[in-house]
Amino acid sequence: MFLLRHFKWTSKPWIGFKLSSGRTTITKLLMIDKAMASDPSPLQDFCVADKNSPVRVNGFPCKDAKDVSVDDFFLAANLNKPMDTTKSKAGSNVTLINVMKLAGLNTLGISMARIDYAPKGQNPPHTHPRATEILTVIEGSLYVGFVTSNQANGENKLFTKTLNKGDVFVFPEGLIHFQFNPSYDKPAAAIVALSSQNPGAITIANAVFGSNPPISDDVLAKAFQFHQLNMASSNFFLLTALIALVATQAMAFDPSPLQDFCVADRNSPVRVNGFPCKDAKDVNVDDFFLAANLDKPMDTTKSKAGSNVTLINVMKLAGLNTLGISMARIDYAPKGQNPPHTHPRATEILTVLEGTLYVGFVTSNQANGENKLFTKTLNKGDVFVFPQGLIHFQFNPSYDKPAVAIAALSSQNPGAITIANAVFGSNPPISDDVLAKAFQVDKKAVDWLQAQFWENNHN
């Protein structure tokens, strides 16, 4: 029993704040037989967390909108800076930006983290009970993997891949997964996004062998069949047993998605919301992997806006289907911008990797008829949130330096409506009469705008 009592994989765990899942009361009444694990959908532009309120709700109550400022959506998070990995036995450090740190994330269904790995360090096997995770490597290399829950054949299949700088990988919601830096002498770092404002984290070894009070020796001995183990057995063997136990419990509810994954079958003649699933027996690790080159600068010279958006959505990465998240790299030329646009199906969270950005979003019509603009200048490592569906932009104010950002979006296919393109570049065009009245200009101004070459800055 010494092994049971003293095996504890101490690391800096993913810190979570246990929130009940589900949607609104109305939705529960309509879909009482379906327990939804996703964050509740926002019913207004934003619901900035009032963490001092005595009221208890799923998430946090909203601050009064008149008391909300741009700093509720901003955090000088220093995600550009390496974090100390020496205090963790696992050799890793997770800097998580969730609703506990950034109040503007409340109800918006997304969060972000930087993970640093010492040489031979790892983020040990863990689960996020409320979130899918999408990761891109920004330094070094990582060996990553996840384990399926019990399939129809009783198998817990392991999917693994070695990732290089700029690669992207997806870990489906609720499944046990890990990242490991295989280098003996070089650190590694990654930026991840998670499809919940507060994804939670269950580090497997800590939860099973480090609970307070501890789980009974009798329970653990039987669960892991320790009567068959030599006390000198390797920690790797123990870890394998841990995975076998907890993978059966990773999904404690009937979530959306309703299985481990639903890799998009883009060749299927069947039409559904999203894509039909590939047969699970035909799924392999490359369905969750893309050599996306997100570490490499992209060409901004072909865009009148002076920007280039490299979007990794379900059209490029089939494993994202049903998982509610995507990722992009955005390059900005000096004085370049990602022009005003909306994502009809997603909240966006962004961190600056290089340079400086002036960013902002505009509220929808408030009760007083006002469309309020929230703006902020972001420096390297800062994080900003653009609520779902609102018009927003990013602008590089430098005359001589480019800028780069990584963004994550809370949809597998968030969509983008660039305002100028949609209004003045539609096919067929919107009527002159409609636009002239809408913008309070004469028809000649509308005709001139419609004659411009409107182009897409998305790859």
Amino acid at 297: P
Integer Cα distance of 3 and 226 in angstroms? 10
Integer Cα distance of 55 and 230 in angstroms? 53
- Kindly state which CATH superfamily the domain 67-204+261-415 is placed in: Jelly Rolls (2.60.120.10)
Q: Which of 193, 210, 458 is nearest to 338 (CA)?
A: 458
Integer Cα distance of 285 and 179 in angstroms? 15
392 among annotated binding-site residues: yes
Q: Name the helix (H) or strand (E) containing 439.
A: helix 432-439
Integer Cα distance of 454 and 418 in angstroms? 10
Integer Cα distance of 98 and 239 in angstroms? 28
348 among annotated binding-site residues: yes
**3-class DSSP state of 455:** coil
341 among annotated binding-site residues: yes
pLDDT at position 17, please?
29
455 among annotated binding-site residues: no
Measured between its terminal Cα atoms, the distance across the chain in Å is 57
pLDDT at position 74, please?
97
For 59-107, how does the pLDDT look when each residue is reduced to its tens digit (9 = 90+)? 888 999 999 999 999 999 999 999 999 999 899 999 999 999 999 999 9
**3-class DSSP state of 109:** coil
Integer Cα distance of 172 and 262 in angstroms? 10
Integer Cα distance of 51 and 48 in angstroms? 9
126 among annotated binding-site residues: no
Q: Tell me the C-alpha to C-alpha distance, in Å, between residue 128 and each of 37, 177, 189, 255.
A: 11, 9, 20, 13
pTM: 0.79
Q: Are strands 142-147 and 111-117 parallel, antiparallel or unpaired?
A: unpaired
Q: Which stretches in the chain have pLDDT values below 50? A: 1-37, 228-255
- Residue ranges covered by each domain of the chain: 67-204+261-415, 421-451
